[in-house]
Structure 1
Amino acid sequence: MPRNNPKETKIYVLDTNILLHEPHAFLSFKEHDVVVPMTVLEELDYIKDSKKDVARDARVSIRSMEDLLHDATPEDMINGVSMEGLAAGENKPTGSLSIFTDLNMAESQQVFTSNENDNRIINVALQLQKTFSRRQVVLVTKDLNMRLKAKGAGLAHVEDYRTDQLVSDIKYLSKGYHTFEGNFWEKVKSVDSRTEGRDTIHTVSRELLPNAFINEFLLDDTSQFAGLVEAINVETLEVLDLGYERLMGRHAWGISPKNIGQAMALHALLDPHIDLVILTGPAGSGKTLLALAAALELVVEKNMYEKIIVTRSTPEIAESIGFLPGTEEEKMLPWLAAITDSLEVLHKHDENVKGSMSYIMEKANIQFKSVNFMRGRSIQNSIVILDESQNLTAAQLKTIITRCGEGTKLICSGNLAQIDSNYLSPVTSGLTYLVEKFKNFSGSATINLDGVVRSRLAEFAEENL
């Protein structure tokens, strides 16, 4: 058990899903003590050899704890081993890590007598709360039902793991644009405009939008102005005047925007200076169709890239994709039906739709790849479309982004309302990380598409179901 600390620091009991979500989570609790129940180690042991997408995270967590505890005696592991010196920075840990042997707990010490893993972990927290009554004992878990059970059983403090959350609520996530009420120019007190080639750039006071970031679109609700933040200085913003009508007039591969959100997305997708485009929004807002149309325009029509690589996360049951027959591309086809559906839409007016699709797939060198096989590659002069990216962790997204070499453009699309992973929520999704971490990067742009254009049926379902 953790030592009785005179500073009255807290004791954090970690659930398995915390270490799967963030393998080094036990280092994030500063001066407080961390307890890992033996049941958690058992669950990590089972998961590390499974085919789940979190197996690697389980192995990383086990190794990092072993690095700390490998010289500890059994008594040390129970009483706590100091984590001081394991990490640098302001939040470096100074507390201890201990293993609680809950498998040997007497029945008199248990509130739950059933042998379910969650119940055993809650029993640990309750026992520590009883033993260390002067200290605050906190169970940390991402399992909402487990939090309810723990509170119902008498545990005073239960929390989610928030250390790695960049936004407290998904409603605060950047949309990639800012809309001014009324007319934009009525808000501007002074402006200095200049012309560079065919572009007009306005220099305005930063007080107009103090929290602006690079490549943020600026609109007004009178539909008279559309601009893009190109540079941010101490006191000023440089805004590229896009023109509302000109922005709505953009097109790619026969596709024209149906609303201003799609117009902004298309502008970012076709801009060769933007290496990363992040498209978020509900089902039916046009994310995949716009990404594919822009990719075909840039590869086939403008010859700016050599090929299109399409990838996405696969459901847990099909992670290895080995149970399907055929090549890697053929195995991935069921999971990438959204891409082939979009190709059909783009060529639905052709005389021979299947023939056109086959020709374009060969002409644009469209390749279907599994996320699991992207590690170790170096992708050059390509457009990478990463679909359904809301189901990926920040670590998985980093693996993909770091594969992108010179001359490669990455398009990430996803709907945070459709997360299928058991270990992710909208605020902890890798897509949320991507939006927040890259919003001040001059080579990226984020657009939230908020209008459902697939059909009136899809729009009604999105709003009412």
Structure 2
Amino acid sequence: MDRDDTKLFVLDTNVLLHEPLAIYSFKEHDVIVPMTVLEELDTIKDRKRDVSRDARVAIRTLEDTLGGNITPEQLVHGVPLPVRPGHEDATGHLAVFPDHLIEFTIGSLTGDNNDNLILNTTLHLQQQHPDRDVVLVTKDINMRLKAKGVGIELVEDYRRDQIIDDVRFLTKGFHQFQGSFWKNVGNIETERLGRKTVHQLPLSEVDTDLLYVNQYLIDEESDFCGRVSKLDQDHVTFQDLNRERIMNAEAWGIRPKNVYQGMALQALLDPDIDMVILTGPAGCGKTLLAMASALELVVERNQYEKIIVTRNTPEIAESIGFLPGTEEEKMGPWLAAITDTLEVLHKHDVNPAGSLNYIMDKANIQLKSINFMRGRSIQNTIVLLDECQNLTASQLKTMITRMGEGTKLICCGNLAQIDSNYLTPVTSGLTYIVERFKNFDGSANIYLNGVVRSRLAEFAEEYL
């Protein structure tokens, strides 16, 4: 791979675990996978954890790319990446570097751990290819720091699935106009469609070019509230919701405490929206609104047959087997937030415990491990996916593609509470789907601005 006009990317193991098809993400540039990475993937693939699947997919991808008829010399020198649908721009080469055969000396670290071996490999390649840019790609922040300290010139995070550079620019799902909306627009057409009132106005009258379908519109001074229903090159069409009306909406006895909760409740109860993404700080009401709406739609309105609640639990594959009881009982500790929410919804009942058991049975609420959701086709169900901030883009894609006809998916998450070692707010799968689905007319996203849990929680969210 002596092509001076292209870069040479050295991949760390965590990159292939984060995105098993990462070798196709570097366009015309060449990719090197150290032998140490293959050994780590081999160790991980047999673990009883969700990450083992990603390791197996990465290994199969490498095998399919390298093939079974290549010689050892070709393996080290590199083979062209085969054409893959969706990755037609990947025209570089893939090679496996035999780091266990190289005696690293100049500037190298001690070979007492795998990270050091990968760093030494990058240093060696940097010396062997002085005319090329040799880039180490890793999602391990500490490894990036060590790489710079040991003399590796180019080190990057894997950003193939990163859409925005700063989480402050993440789509919030609504746009707030300054002053009064009605006082600042003139050329507007109004039409009555059944029980809905729809307005159309030229885009030139709107002080933003960042509108998209199902985005909510509010202002600072009046009771105006709308939701974009159609966009073309010249006009925006939106449904008039009226702020007072959405503030008086109710689901399972719960009414919104602010306009953000009102918009969220309107989207949750709308049968035409297949996926609702709720983001926001701790205590803003994400889980409470999602659960109340799910119960309302299943029990009161009979629009769905059951509720499935699931979430990401990094250690669940190893620990769930040691917990007593059925799958639902094993999942109980991991989904305590859901049972806490049910208790809040029924705390004023004469017999709260009896009500809780009755509703669990009446609404057919199932607590499922995310590990066991693969391969399923879920029909006529409300699926509540909690703690989405800890999922990668590929994991969320796996979940979303399980949704069948008549199913509504509710994704909840707080980007300030990421537990994963390799995810940040800008690389979280939650951020990815918020941006990817903002132009899909079957989804809505709402950032619940404001903590309503308690004044203590509000103070902690703001000052800690």
* Pairwise TM-score range, normalised by the shorter structure: over 0.9
Report the CA distance between 1:274 and its aligned residue: 0.9
Query: Does the aligned pair in 2 maintain the 1:51–1:320 contact within 8 Å?
Result: no
Q: Aligned partners of 2:53, 2:188: CA distance in 1, in Å?
A: 54
2:249 alignment counterpart:
250
Q: How do residues 222-301 of structure 1 correspond to structure 2 at under 5 angstroms? A: 222-301=221-300
Counterpart position of 1:125: 122
Aligned with 1:322: secondary structure? helix
Distance, in Å, in 2 between the alignment partners of 1:23 and 1:406 is 29
Instruction: Kindly provide the CA deviation profile for residues 222-273 of structure 1, in whole angstroms up to 9, marking residues without a partner as x.
Output: 1431111011122111111111111211111111111111010000011111
Alignment of 1:72-151 (within 5 A): 72-83=70-81, 85-88=82-85, 92-109=89-106, 111-151=108-148
After superposition, where does 1:12-411 map in structure 2 within 5 Å?
Answer: 12-69=9-66, 70-83=68-81, 85-88=82-85, 92-109=89-106, 111-207=108-204, 208=206, 209-318=208-317, 321-411=320-410
Residue 334 of structure 2: SS of its match in structure 1?
Answer: helix
Q: Go from structure 1 to structure 2 and tell me whether the alpha carbon gap of 1:88 and 1:315 turns closer, same or farther (over 3 Å shift).
A: closer
Deviations 1:428-452 (A, max 9, x none): 2222222122111111111111211
Q: How much does 1:42 deviate?
A: 1.0
Q: Give the secondary structure class of the aligned counterpart of 1:380.
A: coil
What secondary structure sits across from 2:26 in the alignment? coil
In 1, the alpha carbon distance for the partners of 2:319 and 2:48 equals 8
Q: Any idea what SS the aligned residue of 1:42 has? A: helix
SS at match of 1:31: coil
Contact 2:257–2:452 (CA<8 Å) still a contact in 1?
Answer: yes
CA distance in 1, matches of 2:140, 2:431: 20
- Residues 374-395 of structure 1: CA distance to partner in whole angstroms, max 9, x if unpaired? 1222222221111112222223
Gaps of 5+ in 2: none
Cα distance between partner residues in 2 of 1:113 and 1:213: 53
Cα 1:68–1:104 shift into 2, 3 Å: same
- Counterpart CA distance in 1 for 2:107 and 2:35 is 15
CA-to-aligned-CA distance 1:349-388 (integer Å, 9 cap, x gap): 1111111111111221111111111122222222111111
Structure 2-normalised TM-score? 0.96
Is the Cα–Cα contact under 8 Å of residues 15 and 22 in structure 2 kept in the other structure?
Answer: yes
Structure 2 counterpart of 1:30, one-letter code: K
What is the alpha-carbon distance in structure 2 between the residues aligned to residue 351 and residue 213 of structure 1? Answer: 46
Classify the secondary structure of the residue corresponding to 1:239. Answer: strand
Q: Say if 1:151 and 1:158, in contact at 8 Å, map to a contact too.
A: yes
**Deviation string for 1:121-170 (max 9, x for gaps)?**
11111111111111111111111111111111111111111122122222
Say whether the 8 Å CA contact 1:28–1:91 is kept in structure 2: no
Which deviates more, 96-105 or 336-345? 96-105
CA contact (8 A) 1:164 1:428 kept: yes
Q: What is the percentage of aligned positions where both structures have the same residue? A: 63
What number of residue pairs does the alignment pair up?
461
In structure 2, what is the equivalent of residue 434 of structure 1?
433
Q: Distance in 1 between matches of 2:395 and 2:411?
A: 13
Shift of 1:210: 2.5
TM-score (norm 1): 0.95
1:53–1:319 contact (8 Å) kept in structure 2: no
Where does residue 463 of structure 2 map in the other structure?
Answer: 464
**How far does residue 333 in structure 1 lie from its aligned partner after superposition?**
0.8
**Alignment CA distance shift 1:309-1:88 (3 Å):** closer
**Structure 1 position 318, deviation (Å):** 4.4
d(CA) in 1 for partners of 2:2, 2:401:
45
The 3 A distance-change label for structure 1 pair 250 and 52 is same
- After superposition, the Cα gap between the structure-2 partners of 1:123 and 1:239, relative to the gap in structure 1 and judged at 3 Å, is same
- Cα RMSD between the aligned structures? 1.6
- Relative to structure 1, the CA distance from residue 57 to residue 318 in structure 2 (aligned partners, 3 Å threshold; closer, same or farther) is closer
Secondary structure of the structure 1 residue equivalent to 2:321: coil
Change (3 A) 1:213 1:102: same
Q: Structure 1 54/423 Cα, relative in aligned 2: closer, same or farther at 3 Å? A: farther
The one-letter amino acid paired with 1:438 is F
CA offset at residue 90 of structure 1?
Answer: 7.3
Counterparts of 1:89 and 1:403 in 2: how far apart (Å)? 21
Contact 1:201 / 1:238 at 8 angstroms: preserved in 2? yes
